[in-house]
Amino acid sequence: MKKLLVILATLLLLASCAGGGDSKSSSQQASDDFELRFASDRLSSTILWDLVNGSKHINKDKANQFLETVEHVTSEQISRTYSNNVRAADKRFKGKRIVISGNVSAISQDEQGNPQLAMPGPLSKTAVKLGFGKDSADKIATTEIGRQFASICTVNGFSDDTVMMDNCQTSPGESQIIAAQELVKSILNGQESIAPAIDAQVVADYYLAKEFPADSPCRKNRLNFGGWFDDCRKNYHGLIHRLGEEGILEKLPENLRERAKGGMAAFMQSQS
């Protein structure tokens, strides 16, 4: 399904690129702003996802540079590191921004009512504790115990056999949003490339966003680092299926069909 989604979205991109460009009205500009935000949110989410899951799409150094972090570790890895040598672990992690991932073992609040998540380690269900601001409360409220979770946090130290983290993010920070938007613009113009599969996704998402109807849930809700809102995901997949049924590949001129095949080949190679 994932491969079909990217392939069909890429075909839509190629069809859209084939048209000419006129001066933009204010309503068109507003639409483009949404499309840029949509593609940028997807790009940020993809980079985090690829880093956490060890994807071949993008190297770790580039992903951490984009996210303004030093590295990615699982809750079990950082818990084990601190249990073995607190001083060495502090030198490596304390005060630094990292990507932390693991299964959620508990959801709670601190004394000020700010949301917290716990993740397990090799010996404990609360080996790592993540602290969030109140602006993350809605997102934390939809998180389920036992589900995988990834976040960007600052490591605060080690207390009561627990690695403490604060200033955790459930969505991109302002500097990351700006960086993602500039990167999307560069990829759309062919000035920069991250990796073939991610490039294809960025441009496909940008042009696919043009097809969302005015009442689409994707236009009403902002995407999170963690993935899609359910309603937006259904709308997105439904659009992909409709485009496939319309036989968009057969409608493309021969030269665009060849470009589509090249894009699909690059995507398939990135999956191997």
* Whole-number pLDDT of residue 4: 42
- d(C-alpha 184, C-alpha 51), whole Å: 19
Show the DSSP H helices in the chain as ranges: 2-17, 26-52, 60-67, 75-84, 86-93, 137-141, 174-188, 196-209, 217-220, 230-245, 248-251, 254-271
Tell whether domain 73-169 is in CATH 2.40.50.140: yes
* Whole-number pLDDT of residue 87: 96
- Residue recorded with tokens 């993809």: 46
Q: Is the pLDDT of residue 188 over 60?
A: yes
Instruction: Name the percent of the chain lying above pLDDT 70.
Output: 68
* Whole-number pLDDT of residue 101: 94
Highest average pLDDT, of 44-58, 64-78, 132-146, 195-209, comes from 64-78
Indicate the domain borders of the chain. 2-10+27-58+194-271, 73-169
Q: Is the pLDDT of residue 19 over 70?
A: no
Q: What is the pLDDT of residues 240-266, one digit of tens each?
A: 556 555 555 455 556 545 555 554 455
What average pLDDT does the structure give for the chain? Answer: 76
Angstrom CA distances, 179 to 43, 65, 68, stand at 10, 11, 11
* Whole-number pLDDT of residue 18: 39
Q: What is the pLDDT of residues 223-240, one digit of tens each?
A: 444 444 456 666 666 665
The band of 161, judged by pLDDT with boundaries at 50, 70 and 90, is: very high
Strand partners, 109: 115
- d(C-alpha 3, C-alpha 7), whole Å: 6
Tokens of 134: 């109140």
- Residue recorded with tokens 């062919």: 190
Angstrom CA distances, 103 to 100, 106, 160, stand at 10, 9, 20
First to last CA, the chain: 16
The Cα angle at residue 219 between residues 216 and 223, in degrees rounded to 5: 115
* Whole-number pLDDT of residue 39: 85
* Whole-number pLDDT of residue 242: 61
DSSP codes joined into one string, 187-218: HHTTS--S-HHHHHHHHHHHHHHTTS-TT-HH
The band of 221, judged by pLDDT with boundaries at 50, 70 and 90, is: low
- d(C-alpha 97, C-alpha 93), whole Å: 8
pTM of the prediction? 0.71
Answer left, alpha or beta for residue 113, where phi above 0 means left and psi between -120 and 50 means alpha: left
DSSP codes joined into one string, 28-47: HHHHHHHHHHHHHHHHHHHH
* Whole-number pLDDT of residue 74: 96
* Whole-number pLDDT of residue 182: 92
